[in-house]
Copies of this chain bind each other. A is one copy, B any other.
């Protein structure tokens, strides 16, 4: 057989040839753009020649600080298209972390969205490797800026060569992209994505039983492009010729609902908090979202109420998925097997609330206290992963040794596996509550609380306890219509029949908001601090 390196560039080439007329619809700060893949192809080739002119070399890291739009998509293909590395930077991180990430990755060129410019101006003197800045704007004139040199993306493109070729003499294991995890403790950790990993991951996204991404889809990635490459959907959607709708900077639930209706979006992907927000918008507004055939939800476990609302009230298939920055990210997706179609609605929901089973190409094992766990849906263990789109190290980072052991990535997620091979995230290894020698799953308690009508969000953390070692405390945000009065007792009564007595939280605290990471996960470390302060606990 021939051995043709699997490359990111070849995916856009396929779209240029065979889906030339299909569109990318892109919201930027100033307007809505309509481009075809023929356009995107030529613009990407121009950008590649520009990057080469600016001195970008094979292996150089090219940083982006940008929302979801067509220019960001073009860099997705242009950076790896010349053998450089696309480094998407999470713009929601603290300036300190952003500085750390850019310097640690040694980014040479930075692509910047208009609204991120002030931040970069502020930190520019702490950036040790960046040589050039490129502003992505629709405006003809560049704004006044202290960045030097600062180029206009569109002006540069005009000087580019629209026929510039994608690199082909490259090892498919070479890095094409990188992303830093927004770790809840310590500095962010970098992960490199290989060309091979991204292409194989794209195949997996196109499988009928995974996301089934198809030419007939209209895909709107709501998950940011700086969050594990928008879960790889822009790569797969381009390759398979989908219409893509990029919702642009600082979108609101209203814009999402409007775009779904207007562009007949068929598939979208994002974290639970996004869908909670959209759900509220849909309940209050009058939108036709019947085009949606799939909502992919990952990043953290979706509460049952959310899944139920999409599946049963809105009649939109809601696919619970699981992955991580270290896994490109798709690892599992929860789909009903053919022989589960006859289950009752509640039984189906029980399947839907699992994270599902590994997609073809990913191998897993779950290690408990005494080796691999039973597939009984009960025994807990840490999820270990292997595959061609699973990282084998953190980029130049000592912490690699504790996560990548004997060829397996130790995810830090505690799961059970049922007899069908479906995993269910029980907790993070660090968030499990150890009470009296037993384990309590904070996630199970959270999910139960979030099925209560009055609860908008709930997070459960441990506080130290002399007798039991640790005890759970629930932190709850109520929906607007509900008052805190008597609610603590009501919620405890609500939990009682569902859990063993020792699982019940010792207290329930009410909050206006629960602190979250930049990608929408509960920031338990910070929350624990607040709770410990509340109880006057000294560490």
The residue from B4, B192, B241, B421 contacting A1, defined by CB atoms under 8 A apart: B192
Q: Which residues of B contact A207 (CB under 8 A)?
A: 203, 206-208, 214, 240
Please tell me if A95 contacts chain B, counting CB pairs below 8 Å. no
The closest CB in chain B to the CB of A207 belongs to B206
The closest CB in chain B to the CB of A206 belongs to B207
CB of A376 to closest CB in B, whole Å: 15
The residue from B1, B2, B208, B213 contacting A213, defined by CB atoms under 8 A apart: B208
CB of A229 to closest CB in B, whole Å: 13
Please tell me if A14 contacts chain B, counting CB pairs below 8 Å. yes
Q: Which residues of B contact A58 (CB under 8 A)?
A: none
The digit string for A174-194, where 1 denotes a CB below 8 A from any CB of B, is 000000000000000000111
Q: Which residues of B contact A34 (CB under 8 A)?
A: none
Q: Which residues of B contact A14 (CB under 8 A)?
A: 358, 360
Contact B215 A388 (CB under 8 A): no
The residue from B4, B17, B212, B388 contacting A386, defined by CB atoms under 8 A apart: B4
Contact A389 B240 (CB under 8 A): no
Q: How many residues of A are in contact with the other chain, CB < 8 A?
A: 55
Looking at A196, A206, A420, the one whose CB has the most chain B CB atoms below 10 A away is A206
A10-B363, A357-B18, A360-B239 in contact; A2/B215 too (CB < 8 A)?
no
The residue from B240, B390, B420 contacting A2, defined by CB atoms under 8 A apart: B390
State the CA gap A392–B357 with chains docked (Å).
Answer: 36
Please tell me if A407 contacts chain B, counting CB pairs below 8 Å. yes
Please tell me if A469 contacts chain B, counting CB pairs below 8 Å. no
Please tell me if A339 contacts chain B, counting CB pairs below 8 Å. yes
Contact A173 B337 (CB under 8 A): no
CB of A23 to closest CB in B, whole Å: 10
Contact B338 A216 (CB under 8 A): yes
State the CA gap A196–B14 with chains docked (Å).
Answer: 21
Contact B212 A1 (CB under 8 A): no
State the CA gap A173–B2 with chains docked (Å).
Answer: 9
Q: Which residues of B contact A516 (CB under 8 A)?
A: none
The closest CB in chain B to the CB of A239 belongs to B360
Q: Which residues of B contact A392 (CB under 8 A)?
A: 1-3
Q: Identify 6 residue pairs between A and B in the complex whose beta-carbon atoms are under 8 Å apart, listed by A's number.
A: A1-B173, A1-B389, A4-B387, A10-B363, A206-B209, A209-B240
